[in-house]
Amino acid sequence: MMKLGCSRLLLVSAHVLLCLSAIWTLAASADVPAGQRPGCPDKCGDVDIPFPFGIGQQCALHDGFDLNCTTVDGGAMKPFKWNLEVTDISLPDGKARMNAPTIATQCYVPSTGGMEYYPSWLNVTNSPFWISEVDNRIIVIGCNTLAYMISFSHLIGCHSTCAGVTLKNDTACSGAGCCEADVPKDLQYYDGYFDEEYNTTEIWRDSPCSYMVLMEKAAFSFKTSYVKSTAGFWDAYNGTVPIVLNWQIEQLNGCDEAKKKTSSYACVSRDSECVDTSNAMVPGYLCNCSDGYKGNPYIADGCQDIDECLENANPCGPEICQNTLGNYICSCRPGYYETDGVCVPIQKRSRFQPMPVIGASIGFVVLVILVACACLIQERRKLQKMKQNYFRQHGGLILFNEMNSKEGNAFKIFREEELQQATDNFSEKQVLGHGGHGTVYKGLFKGDMEVAVKKCMTIDEQHKKEFGKEMLILSQINHKNIVKLLGCCLEVEVPMLVYEFVPNGTLFHLIHGNHGRCISLSTRLRIAVESADALTYLHSSASTPILHGDVKSPNILLDGNHSAKVSDFGASILAPTDASQFVTLVQGTCGYLDPEYMQTCYLTDKSDVYSFGVVLVELLTGKIPFNLDAPEKEKSLAMMFMSAMKENRLAGILDDQIKGEDNIEIIEEIAELAKQCLDMCGDNRPSMKEVTEKLDGLMKVMRHPWAQQNTEEMESLLFEPTADSAIGSAEYFSIEKRAINAMQSGR
Ligand SMILES: *[C@@H]1O[C@H](CO)[C@@H](O)[C@H](O)[C@H]1NC(C)=O
Ligand SMILES: *[C@@H]1O[C@H](CO)[C@@H](O)[C@H](O)[C@H]1NC(C)=O
Ligand SMILES: *[C@@H]1O[C@H](CO)[C@@H](O)[C@H](O)[C@H]1NC(C)=O
Ligand SMILES: *[C@@H]1O[C@H](CO)[C@@H](O)[C@H](O)[C@H]1NC(C)=O
Ligand SMILES: *[C@@H]1O[C@H](CO)[C@@H](O)[C@H](O)[C@H]1NC(C)=O
Ligand SMILES: *[C@@H]1O[C@H](CO)[C@@H](O)[C@H](O)[C@H]1NC(C)=O
């Protein structure tokens, strides 16, 4: 009994600590029938088809769950959803495993002497399905390959090479000939895409083909033959790869609303319950059998009591087990009686020898307690050791010593328990958002101090070692327009960061959210100046220059006074940016990504300038930077803006809200600056410092009542201060002068 308790404790702690990504196995055990409506087939070939899935429209809950049962080449029957072969459906998890013909291939063709491309894509929009970010990975295989996954708002890829490394057969994608990246949340559509600059024309004799797939990570292991032979990987998987999709019953506002609409509520079985999946992109719900029941909650009487007594291990040990609905009762076997929850033999309770019996039972209880304590202590030690290991791995000691030597430093090293407590055990309810690198939770310390806790998905070896050092640099950043890093937690596998909480949403929300509020040009300009100032600080003033790497309006937060606060600047440091590493992760956001960075994989301060240019254009036009649904020419806002500037039709694309204002000169100046930031060649772009100075000048001009007059008038007024302007100090004039110079040099 105790041993059982121990191993469970170990399991739970290991789960919490390591965040072991659950390897999904079929959750519905074989002894439970799939559960279908009467008259509907519950199998297609070997695959169970449980309702809400069904073969044919009349058997499925709705079109989204309608499957085809088709005879394939070999004569076997197999279920299909579109062209995806369904191999496994799990009701409790809301997951389905499918085989998808989505291997993007790039091969050298000796007969033509050129490369041939077979792109791939997957589109499950407008269906109950989305791609599981937990079970799948983006995998790129090749010896000189840069491949991406592109979706509406994501561009994620990696660079794989064989130069200077030893290829080995490996279950992990270790970097040699193969690289991998995390799948973003809520993905329903992607395109596989190769950068043609990276190709195998030079090395085709050794390695003719490259591949890019998004597939179930547990089903992948790297073989050297994948890169050595033509179609090696393709043949190994016969052209299709397993992928795990999540599914749900769609319903805005999840369970609350679903339960109200009794006619369409899908959890119809007795002893079933509703599980909210409202954290998904499109909110919805799943049904699950209540504790102690199993089966299909989607059909009447589908949930059946589990007879726990017949399970493999009798839950009562040697004692008598009696099943009840949803539970079970243990009672002592004949000849034993219960005392303090333990069964002891009756025979030994002799009237004439009371002492030994009491002694024995006390002894037994003491023994049990001792064993329990020993067990707990052992577990504690293991846990402590694991935490210490992580702490050391992440450079915690350096950081700790450094922090202790500094007085009055607000940076704190948090314990894991503290963060768990503050975030309600990383509850889904506390999720503030999902970034490219992880999830951000809202936390509350000591009842009133609000913080944002960032939990990253993964971290690579290189950065693991340097984490402590990097934290040291980040902790010294102190700028009013940069989200303050309050501390970190190092005793977990992937370190967590604790930031100050910024309450008023993001710039992206302010511009594109349809709250109906009008945002004046001066507010826009102020936010631009503040963000630019923050980036300038990161690039130049901070002790070690820091590149942001993912400048975009969703990363510019707004505080109570709508002051800008740049966030997520740690991302660039957590993600590898060094092109000399053989696996290079190019990660950024579509529409903001510097084209030069995409080509060279080398992040520079000018990449941030480019992305900032896009933010400027966003502020001027109120348009979304990347829109896949738009016609070809209007997909990328940066390109659309550049061609509008070239053809002198800036007015045509300005945001209606600022078009009316008579600050057209200022607007033109900002547009001109944005144009310089968006120059294809990084060297031609202004530095962040120059951008800030220029914007700051424009803001000063605008705040001044003279700004509406033309420049010459302003200049003459400057040298003949009137009573009105007498409030201005000498410094004020010098700023004004600089602003005018900046305006003139911009022309
Ligand atoms: C089922 O197959 C038919 C004919 O091949 C096709 O028209 C239909 O779209 C398929 N339905 C699904 C759900 O795949
Ligand atoms: C459904 O219930 C089972 C067992 O009670 C549990 O393991 C599973 O996580 C539940 N599913 C969801 C989506 O909560
Ligand atoms: C994906 O499919 C949906 C319909 O199922 C369609 O409306 C949409 O245009 C498709 N998206 C792309 C990018 O092909
Ligand atoms: C990898 O495995 C394949 C067979 O699956 C074998 O032919 C090859 O020699 C192995 N390569 C290495 C480096 O072990
Ligand atoms: C292959 O790559 C080289 C440079 O890396 C490039 O010049 C060439 O155009 C590429 N070839 C193809 C067919 O894309
Ligand atoms: C691969 O698929 C084809 C049909 O697409 C089938 O005939 C063949 O048997 C499959 N091979 C393997 C090894 O599964």
**Residue 67, token pair as written in the block:** 């499957």
Q: How far apart are CA 482 and CA 484, in angstroms?
A: 6
pLDDT digits (tens, 9 = 90+) for 7-34: 332 232 223 223 233 334 434 434 456 7
Per the CB < 8 A criterion, the answer to whether 528 and 537 are in contact is: no
pLDDT digits (tens, 9 = 90+) for 407-436: 445 677 788 888 888 888 888 888 887 765
Whose alpha carbon is nearest atom 11 of ligand 3? 123
Selected residue with higher pLDDT from 562 and 718: 562
CATH 1.10.510.10 location in the chain: 508-703
Q: How far apart are CA 184 and CA 136, in angstroms?
A: 10
Selected residue with higher pLDDT from 583 and 47: 47
Q: How far apart are CA 710 and CA 404, in angstroms?
A: 57
Task: Kindly indicate the confidence band of residue 94, based on its pLDDT and cuts at 50, 70 and 90.
Answer: very high
CATH of domain 508-703: 1.10.510.10
Per the CB < 8 A criterion, the answer to whether 163 and 176 are in contact is: no
CATH 3.30.200.20 location in the chain: 396-500
Per the CB < 8 A criterion, the answer to whether 694 and 548 are in contact is: no
DSSP letter string over 381-403?
HHHHHHHHHHHHHTTHHHHHHHH
DSSP letter string over 292-327?
TEEE-TTSTT-EEE--GGGSSS-TTTTSEEEEETTE
CA distances from 471 to 239, 367, 417 (A): 45, 48, 20
For ligand 3, the distance from its centroid to the CA atom of residue 125, given in whole angstroms, is 6
For ligand 1, the distance from its centroid to the CA atom of residue 269, given in whole angstroms, is 30
What confidence score (pLDDT) does residue 543 get? 61
**Quick one: which of 507, 20, 74, 425 has its CA closest to 217?**
20
Pick the ligand that lies closest to the CA of residue 627: 3
CA distances from 367 to 371, 373, 376 (A): 6, 10, 14
pLDDT digits (tens, 9 = 90+) for 271-292: 999 998 866 667 889 999 999 9
578 is catalytic: no
For ligand 6, the distance from its centroid to the CA atom of residue 237, given in whole angstroms, is 9
**Residue 522, token pair as written in the block:** 């001066």
- Classify the C-alpha dihedral 675-681-684-686 as positive or negative: positive
Q: 186: how many CB neighbours lie within 10 A of its CB?
A: 18
- Classify the C-alpha dihedral 343-344-346-350 as positive or negative: negative
Task: Kindly indicate the confidence band of residue 44, based on its pLDDT and cuts at 50, 70 and 90.
Answer: very high
Cβ–ligand 1 distance for 127 under 6 Å, the answer no
**Residue 490, token pair as written in the block:** 């190092």
Q: How far apart are CA 591 and CA 481, in angstroms?
A: 24
Protein residues whose CB sits closer than 6 Å to any atom of ligand 2:
92-94, 275, 286, 288, 291
What confidence score (pLDDT) does residue 417 get? 85
| Alpha helix ranges (H) inside 170-247 | 225-228, 232-236
Looking at beta carbons, which pairs linking 676-684 to residues 24 or more positions away fall under 8 Å?
676/613, 677/609, 677/610, 677/612, 677/613, 677/616, 678/610, 678/613, 678/614, 678/617, 678/638, 678/641, 678/642, 680/595, 680/596, 681/596, 682/594, 682/596, 682/604, 682/606, 682/607, 682/609, 682/610, 683/606
For ligand 4, the distance from its centroid to the CA atom of residue 177, given in whole angstroms, is 14
**Interval 626-648 mean pLDDT:** 85
Flag whether pLDDT at 600 surpasses 80: no
CATH superfamily, domain 396-500, is: Phosphorylase Kinase; domain 1 (3.30.200.20)
**What whole-number percentage of the chain has pLDDT above 70?**
76
Cis peptide before 625 (omega within 30 of 0): no
Selected residue with higher pLDDT from 713 and 220: 220
What confidence score (pLDDT) does residue 152 get? 80
- Give the phi and the psi of residue 196 in degrees, each rounded to 5: -70, -15
For ligand 4, the distance from its centroid to the CA atom of residue 172, given in whole angstroms, is 15
Cβ–ligand 3 distance for 82 under 6 Å, the answer no
pLDDT digits (tens, 9 = 90+) for 470-509: 677 777 778 899 888 888 887 777 778 888 888 888 898 8
What confidence score (pLDDT) does residue 285 get? 92
Q: What pairing do the DSSP bridges indicate for beta strands 120-123 and 189-194?
A: antiparallel
Who contacts 76 (Cβ-Cβ below 8 Å, separation ≥6)?
A: 45
What confidence score (pLDDT) does residue 430 get? 84
Question: What is the pLDDT of the chain when averaged over all its residues?
Answer: 78
What confidence score (pLDDT) does residue 18 get? 30
**Interval 309-317 mean pLDDT:** 80
Task: Kindly indicate the confidence band of residue 672, based on its pLDDT and cuts at 50, 70 and 90.
Answer: very high
Task: Kindly indicate the confidence band of residue 58, based on its pLDDT and cuts at 50, 70 and 90.
Answer: very high
Flag whether pLDDT at 645 surpasses 70: yes
Atom of ligand 6 nearest to the CA of 72: 4
Who contacts 65 (Cβ-Cβ below 8 Å, separation ≥6)?
A: 52, 53, 54, 128, 247
Flag whether pLDDT at 332 surpasses 80: yes
Task: Kindly indicate the confidence band of residue 582, based on its pLDDT and cuts at 50, 70 and 90.
Answer: very low
Q: Which of 182, 533, 550, 608 is catalytic?
A: 550
Flag whether pLDDT at 96 surpasses 80: yes
| Alpha helix ranges (H) inside 476-564 | 507-512, 521-536
Q: What pairing do the DSSP bridges indicate for beta strands 564-566 and 556-558?
A: antiparallel
Helix (H) or strand (E) holding 178: strand 178-182
Cβ–ligand 4 distance for 225 under 6 Å, the answer yes
What confidence score (pLDDT) does residue 468 get? 66
Flag whether pLDDT at 254 surpasses 90: no
Atom of ligand 2 nearest to the CA of 94: 13
Whose alpha carbon is nearest atom 4 of ligand 5? 197
- Give the phi and the psi of residue 741 in degrees, each rounded to 5: -60, -45
Q: How far apart are CA 682 and CA 613, in angstroms?
A: 12
Q: How far apart are CA 120 and CA 187, in angstroms?
A: 15
Whose alpha carbon is nearest atom 7 of ligand 4? 225
**Quick one: which of 28, 51, 26 has its CA closest to 40?**
51
pLDDT digits (tens, 9 = 90+) for 377-386: 777 777 777 7
Q: How far apart are CA 50 and CA 34, in angstroms?
A: 5
Per the CB < 8 A criterion, the answer to whether 50 and 34 are in contact is: yes
Which of 185-199, 205-219, 407-421, 698-712 bottoms out in mean pLDDT, i.e. has the lowest? Answer: 698-712
**What whole-number percentage of the chain has pLDDT above 90?**
33
Cβ–ligand 5 distance for 199 under 6 Å, the answer yes
**Interval 108-128 mean pLDDT:** 92
For ligand 3, the distance from its centroid to the CA atom of residue 721, given in whole angstroms, is 63
Atom of ligand 4 nearest to the CA of 167: 13
**Interval 682-708 mean pLDDT:** 84
Task: Kindly indicate the confidence band of residue 60, based on its pLDDT and cuts at 50, 70 and 90.
Answer: very high
**Quick one: which of 571, 576, 673, 569 has its CA closest to 619?**
673
Beta bridge partners of 72: none
Pocket test for ligand 1, best of 61, 66, 68, 70 (most atoms within 8 A of CB): 68
Q: How far apart are CA 262 and CA 267, in angstroms?
A: 10
Cβ–ligand 1 distance for 185 under 6 Å, the answer no
CA distances from 424 to 11, 106, 419, 420, 427 (A): 21, 47, 8, 6, 6
**Interval 521-531 mean pLDDT:** 92
CA 457 to chain centre: 7
Sheet containing 155-161, strands listed edge to edge, beginning at the edge strand earlier in sequence? 120-123, 189-194, 144-150, 155-161, 584-588
